[in-house]
Structure 1
């Protein structure tokens, strides 16, 4: 999937190693960003459709870690680990994501939260160590569709919170 930085013609230097998924969410950036900062939020929306999450450890700060298991709808458990590498509330989160702390195949993700009127455009740019790992994630693990489903789950969760806040 080709994607380039805004205003930059042509392909980015990592285009052959990245997957980019974006979505507009009907909530302000501060609220969408907040959904990433607290494990009680994350556990309600993280992952593709049909997946649930069990957290073992969570510390949202640069250098902090999220150690968790994703449970697939078919009963398969997936050990996951994330460390936060950059936090710029409410505009940007960068992280390293693998199966474990020393996973040589860990990949980087950068999430951008940009205001779009009263809504937020969230972009999730994932950069894999190699093109082959990107291709495997896309083909074997359906990473593009999984990313879209994850952002859809986030949108459903956050807009529900926004509606409750507007009513209360």
Structure 2
């Protein structure tokens, strides 16, 4: 049961302990893949609107590590202004330009994982549709409860905003 939200352009579905999010991006697959595989490009668009990303470490290869931080720099986001969120990803599989698989966890600035926060196994699939790309994000959690914890944190809204930022970035790259 996928739910399409016209306001944010996402198809979302919860299947057991998996959250599946789909979005059509208006750029060819190779450009979309590059936006995820290049540290400089990632820093340009990663995170919701009003947040700036810093990549502390980015080794795009199997077993490579990506440590990133996002800081809200939009004063209009009152309660979030100045807030930071850090994450650590460990790449498991990369099949250019078709798929990226990584484990993502909440961390501190040094990449030390935060206890009692959900870890996600994320599989990004880039489906070639000519001048467009269908991005399928499968986020797998250890339990339904961990998935619910992330849903309660607003992950779908955050991803929708992030995909808007990616759309803007891709428009500049075309």
- Superposition TM-score, scaled by structure 1 size: 0.82
Aligned to 1:26: 26
CA distance in structure 1 between the partners assigned to 2:112 and 2:18 by the alignment: 21
CA distance in structure 1 between the partners assigned to 2:126 and 2:154 by the alignment: 24
**1:99 counterpart = 2:111:** no
CA distance in structure 2 between the partners assigned to 1:48 and 1:16 by the alignment: 26
Check the 8 A contact 1:46/1:153 in 2, yes or no.
yes
1:113-152 equivalence runs, <5 A: 113-139=126-152, 141-152=153-164
Runs of 4+ in 1 over 4 A off after TM superposition: none
SS in 2 for 1:35: helix
> In the TM superposition, what is the alpha-carbon distance from 1:102 to its structure 2 partner?
6.2
Aligned to 2:37: 37
The runs of 5 or more residues in structure 1 that have no matched partner are 4-11, 163-168
SS in 1 for 2:48: coil
1:157-168 equivalence runs, <5 A: 157-162=169-174
Flag the structure with higher strand content.
2
> In the TM superposition, what is the alpha-carbon distance from 1:44 to its structure 2 partner?
0.5
SS in 2 for 1:79: strand
Aligned length: 151
The C-alpha deviation readout for 1:41-99, integer Å capped at 9, x for no partner, is 00000011211111211111111111111113421111211111110111111110002
